[in-house]
A and B are shown apart, each in its own frame.
Chain A
């Protein structure tokens, strides 16, 4: 649904987006992670045909961002939630959505239906005639999300959807994104929030002008260190360590306090064998856990490496 090939954008001597190539499937939730100034918003603006590119190619569906006629079609098929909600404070929630619905060429009946459905879903229907200026930040953000969805877009670009929101409002927004995920919409999510990216996204791209890594959150977490199995024992004896070391599926064994820290290639498959060996050599297992690097570890490592370059 979204394809970029060496997409680049320069502002004078500054390269904001540097040869970014990525592919986002239909119905996929793709997270774009990166520090401030990494080029996330610039990428989204290029993909929404708001600003031009310096070089490279990009397509949304079958339409190219290079072509002016295609750009109008792209704008019609995408919904954008920018970093700033940008609603008209003096107008009502309903009037705000109705205005955008008209600009997106949604027929009147369908427009009314969509506004009601979205405002009901977000719990704002009863306050639809209130001026937006009177709403809290969280409610304004919900209205802005409804605005991005008013024309039932196939692709949704969300730029920092939970930034500056309190935990309750953030949760409402995240739950709503999960609902949209169920509807199989393609979602491109710019965020600083690693926890949010991990919970919502099928795949994550880490950007620091260049695309540093793209993978599923799980694979990214595994990419930093191999997964380790931790076996908590009543006591660790030399016999137990030797028994585990003798297993060809275990690459490395380290004993620490009453724990064994094991490097195993495929823990789901070989952990039972390890457990059997420990029990047979007289070990009393208390519990078995997994040690993983977090997405935060991976993100920080990759961003530091990219900055060092």
Chain B
């Protein structure tokens, strides 16, 4: 597989997404929700605890870490949910523009095309997750420093979620949605089916992130399983991608 060919497809898809207001607004909304709403919840929760004056300093720090843990869970959910908007558009978008035939006529393999499209969906989804994290983490840290004199972020759990579980769950959701997008020929059907496919994935990633709070080793093990599942899904998307069916049966 020639990755530079996939990158050409990725760059084109990113340019198309950039011009699609529906996709763009969905993407812009996410960092705002993550970056502003989560710190607000954190600040109110922490202030309520400190105002009550029933907890010791150590208990307050533990409580702050727990709130961070809960809010970090969103950074796993969002990259799992967002691909149902972007990746579901992947092939259906080409179908709507009737651009699949000339695209498939180029000397590009199925693998190169699928990898390029997957990467194009992955980049914005993970980027908005990280932008949200980059906005929310300093606010939460600033507030915890003022109130408790400690920085609550980064911690091991947060780093594991952001560095491993969030991208892996994003890849899984992208691949699942790419498979859906290459099998249906209507954008609404793609998004509805994509949403359904994401549901079981959400349970998987919640389980993975919850396990990180119990044991880092367990979380790493589950992350390994997620990585294997991601690779398997990519090969499944290749196997289910039928050029001929797309060209002859899509109306």
Residues on A facing B (Cβ under 8 Å): 11, 45, 48, 50-52, 72-73, 75-76, 78, 80, 82, 84-91, 95, 99-100, 102-105, 131, 144, 147-148
State in angstroms the CA–CA spacing of A281 and B26 once bound together. 92
* Residues in B74-100 with C-beta less than 8 Å from chain A: 97-100
Q: Are A75 and B20 in contact (CB under 8 A)?
A: no
Residues on B facing A (Cβ under 8 Å): 5, 8-9, 12, 15-16, 19-20, 97-109, 243-244, 247-248
In the assembled complex, the CB of B243 is this many whole angstroms from the nearest CB of chain A, namely 7
The chain A residue with its CB closest to the CB of B95 is A86
Q: Are A95 and B15 in contact (CB under 8 A)?
A: yes
Q: Are A11 and B248 in contact (CB under 8 A)?
A: yes
Q: Are A88 and B97 in contact (CB under 8 A)?
A: yes
Contacts of A89 in B (CB 8 A): 97
- Which 9 pairs of residues, A with B, have the shortest CB-CB distance? A90-B19, A86-B99, A84-B98, A103-B106, A75-B107, A86-B98, A82-B101, A76-B107, A80-B105
State in angstroms the CA–CA spacing of A51 and B108 once bound together. 15
Residue from A45, A76, A95 having most chain B Cβ neighbours under 10 A:
A45
Q: Are A50 and B12 in contact (CB under 8 A)?
A: no
Residue from A78, A80, A88, A95 having most chain B Cβ neighbours under 10 A:
A88
The chain A residue with its CB closest to the CB of B7 is A102
The chain B residue with its CB closest to the CB of A95 is B15
Contacts of A147 in B (CB 8 A): 102
Q: Are A80 and B101 in contact (CB under 8 A)?
A: yes
Contacts of B8 in A (CB 8 A): 99, 102-103
Contacts of B103 in A (CB 8 A): 86, 103
Given A80-B102, A86-B101, 12 more A-B residue pairs with CB atoms under 8 Å apart are: A45-B247, A50-B105, A72-B109, A73-B107, A84-B98, A86-B97, A86-B98, A86-B99, A99-B8, A99-B12, A103-B5, A105-B107
State in angstroms the CA–CA spacing of A51 and B247 once bound together. 8
User: 30 A–B contact pairs at CB < 8 A?
Assistant: A48-B105, A50-B101, A50-B104, A50-B105, A50-B244, A50-B247, A51-B243, A51-B247, A51-B248, A72-B109, A73-B107, A75-B106, A75-B107, A80-B105, A86-B97, A86-B101, A87-B99, A88-B97, A90-B15, A90-B16, A90-B20, A95-B15, A99-B8, A100-B102, A100-B106, A103-B8, A104-B106, A104-B107, A105-B107, A131-B19
